[in-house]
Chains A and B, each alone.
Chain A
Amino acid sequence: MDITKREPETAMRDQKTNSSKQIRKYILTCMILVPLVPMVVILAIGYFYFTSALTSTSTATMRRIAEDHRQMIEAFLMERKTDLEFVLYTHSFDDLRRQERLGAVFENLLRKSNAFADLGLFDENGLHVAYRGPYHLAGKVYKEAVWFREALEKGHYISDVFLGYRNIPHFIVAVSREVDGRKMVIRATIDTVMFNDLVKNVRIGKTGEAYLLNREGILQTERRSGGSLMEKDPEIDTPLVPHPGIQTLVKTGLTGQDYLYATIWMNDQKWELVVRQDKAEVFKALQTTVYLVVLAVVLGGGVIVATAVYLAERIVVRIQKADMDKGHLQNQLVRAGRLAELGEMAAGFAHEINNPLQIIKSEHALIETILEDLKQKQVLTESEDMADLEDSIKQIVLQVNRCAEITHSILKFGRKNKAEIQKVALDQFIPEITKMVQKKAQVQGITVQQHIADDTPQVYGDPAQLQQVLLNLCNNAIDAIYARHGSSGGYLHVEAGPDPDNMIWIKVADNGCGIDEENLQKVFSPFFTTKPVGEGTGLGLSICYGIIAGMGGKMEVSSKSGEGTTFYVRLPTTG
């Protein structure tokens, strides 16, 4: 079999499946993209604005911390310098070279700040003249020492951390003064522990730290994350270059950690204060945001997709059902149209048949007349053949009359719907109708009975429409009886009588298959039929209902499934 040649029905069904696939795809695309795209866009915009705000805030905070810290350290150093200067300006050289005097001065200094570890006096030749402190340093000469020369030149000097004669890391503050042509220098050692704590103790989250580096990149204070005094910072290869202001940057450490740095130079550009924090910690909020955003996208997207799929499915199912219903209705409409056409054609046939019938009738009349003549002229004699001949001829006219009746009832029925209200006498009208269905009922073994009460008044109505209603009810009854009883045992009763309030009632009762309770309410609805596809349009009863309502009457039904049905028609009387 050629695959490309499909039956029209299969092709149409495939087309319908394709179109519902298309609809589903279309709905899904719209319902997913339309909410999803704005959501993602909004989240992205929010995320970017948030991250940039967070970055600038964090950076600003670091800078502020660096600045504040630097100021504090500078203030500390400045104060120590000023302390020593004060000493120099309030004491003479000879004063200070006396051990007890130096001692008292040192005690005073200690009271001001316990940063001082020792105190020493030097003459202009660099000779350590007096000393107060824990080490044995008196007598040493420092004429060539850088610190001494700088102190004499600039009036003050703060050193880097160095080991010196003591072999322990320390740094010194020295100031000089010239009095009467003689220069003198005092020098104090700063307690590195205390200074360390000063620089180190800065609270910046968990991973934040501050430390000092000199130009060679050598630690001047301990680094919390690893690095003791006088160690070279392994991350720095080249000598550091002082820069103005505060610099912030992100650098990867040796351990692979990313740090956010804020650097600022101090102490006459000799030391770099480095404040840094683990980048991950700085931007922890950022990370959380990323997770939240991703979660929102996943969840929101999931909800959107799930809703879209569910709704799309429901909509497609609805559309398919509507299409199917539409198809059914269309089929029924087509059938109804076809039947209506048939009705009209029947009228045409009836017209056409009347002509030949007329001819047959007149031919028959002629034959009879000629026969009479021949009999009178004694050409034909009485005989059995003659009797048969005459009998046959009588039959002809009988059958012609029968045809005529049939065509007349068809024509009366198939008239165009121009209702002509007349007085209808039911006692004559109903028998006409029962006569019409008599033959059909008899063939199916149905007993047709009618009873019209004697005092039944006349009604106003269009006889043709009334005929339509009653014929419809009778035909329905016959179908129902056939469905239940087959070809024998059915009865159909048509009765009529007066009803209170100037009405009459007509009853059409049968012992057919009855109507189910759930269908009973729908029985007058248009297009409702229990007949199989192809039979019945479902229009009959709804049209009848409309006709009776139009006449000012009412139609009701009572039925028991499996037992029978009775239709009641109430109509207003003429009186």
Chain B
Amino acid sequence: MNVQGMKMMLVDDEERFLSTTKKLLAKKGVDVLTAAGGAEALRILASKTVHVVILDVKMPGMDGIETLSIIKKDFPLVEVIMLTGHGTVETAVEGLKSGATDFLSKPTDIDELLIKAEEAYEKRLRLEEKIRMAQSRKIMKSPREIIKNADRT
């Protein structure tokens, strides 16, 4: 599992959870940003690169699902893992349908959290790879095509 370079953000309204989990992940060598609410999370996303977001579903103010939809709209490459205290299938399904990558039920194991985050990170890396490939394919065309295009322009 490659967690090098993974940028993670934890979004939850419980301050204690944020601080303790940050400490734990720091010990495992993962750097984690934290946000106490949806608004703060979006602000951070706007200014910093984040690959994986662990998003609590039930938060006061802007709740998880709402935040999720904005993230998917504004920062579509960000992988979101829903953290749901409901423990019910419905919220999870709704989240997945809205574009979340995966979901976790509270209370979760820290290790399980990391595993799912890494899976999401891998997915992100693969996506970036595909984009690069598609972009480079566009650059690496046959000379004949280049001439044709040049003639046209």
Contact = CB atoms under 8 A, between A and B. Distances in A.
Interface in B1-53: 14, 16-17, 20-21, 23-24, 27
A366 B25 CA distance: 9
Nearest to A407: B87
B106 A362 contact: no
Given A354-B106, A404-B107, A359 B86 contact: no
Contacts of A363: 16, 20
B27 A369 contact: yes
Contact of A362 (B21, B86, B89): B21
B85 interface: yes
B110 A358 contact: no
A411 B87 contact: yes
Of B14, B16, B88, B110, most A-chain CB atoms within 10 Å: B88
B88 A358 contact: no
A351 B85 CA distance: 6
Contacts of A373: 27
A466 to B, nearest CB: 15
B98 interface: no
A408 interface: yes
Interface string A355-368: 10111111101100
Contact of B88 (A355, A369, A412): A412
A376 to B, nearest CB: 12
Contacts of A362: 17, 20-21, 24, 110
A357 B109 CA distance: 11
A54 interface: no
A354 B20 CA distance: 16
A415 interface: yes
A31 interface: no
Contact of B105 (A355, A369, A408, A418): A408
A354 B24 contact: no
A350 B106 contact: no
Given A369-B24, A369-B27, A354 B107 contact: yes
B151 interface: no
Interface in A478-496: none
A361 B105 CA distance: 13
A358 B24 contact: no
Contact of B17 (A359, A407, A411, A412): A359
A126 B37 CA distance: 161
Contacts of A355: 14, 17, 85, 106
A354 B21 CA distance: 16
Of A358, A360, A369, most B-chain CB atoms within 10 Å: A358
B58 interface: yes
B85 A354 contact: yes
A73 interface: no
A355 to B, nearest CB: 6
A407 B89 CA distance: 14
Interface in B101-141: 105-110
A366 B23 contact: yes
Given A358-B17, A362-B24, A366-B20, A351 B86 contact: yes
A400 interface: yes
A411 B58 CA distance: 15
A551 B58 CA distance: 34
A411 B86 contact: yes
A355 B56 CA distance: 10
Contacts of A408: 87, 105
B145 interface: no
B107 A361 contact: yes
A360 B106 CA distance: 11
Interface in A413-458: 415, 418, 420
B109 A361 contact: yes
B127 to A, nearest CB: 29
B15 to A, nearest CB: 10
Nearest to B57: A351
Contacts of A359: 14, 16-17, 20
Contacts of B14: 355, 358-359
Contacts of A369: 24, 27
B96 to A, nearest CB: 15
Contacts of B89: 420
Contacts of B105: 408
Interface in A349-401: 350-351, 354-355, 357-363, 365-366, 369, 373, 400
Contacts of B16: 359, 363
Contact of B106 (A357, A365, A366, A415): A357
Nearest to A416: B90
B106 A411 contact: no
A327 B2 CA distance: 69
A358 B108 contact: yes
A404 B105 CA distance: 10
B109 to A, nearest CB: 7
Interface string B68-93: 00000000000000000111111000
A420 B90 CA distance: 10
A360 B24 contact: no
A217 to B, nearest CB: 122
Contact of A400 (B17, B21, B86, B107): B107
A558 to B, nearest CB: 36
Interface string A59-85: 000000000000000000000000000
A513 to B, nearest CB: 36
A410 to B, nearest CB: 9
A412 B85 contact: no
Contacts of B86: 351, 354, 411
Contacts of B109: 361, 365
A270 to B, nearest CB: 127
B85 A415 contact: no
Contacts of A358: 14, 17, 85, 106-108
Given A362-B17, A362-B24, A350 B107 contact: no
Interface string B54-72: 0000100000000000000
20 contacts: A351-B85, A351-B86, A354-B86, A354-B87, A358-B14, A358-B85, A358-B107, A358-B108, A359-B14, A359-B20, A360-B107, A362-B21, A363-B20, A365-B20, A404-B107, A407-B87, A408-B105, A412-B87, A415-B90, A418-B90
Interface of B: 14, 16-17, 20-21, 23-24, 27, 58, 85-90, 105-110
Interface of A: 350-351, 354-355, 357-363, 365-366, 369, 373, 400, 404, 407-408, 411-412, 415, 418, 420
Cβ-closest 7 pairs across A and B: A354-B85, A358-B107, A357-B107, A365-B110, A354-B106, A361-B107, A358-B106
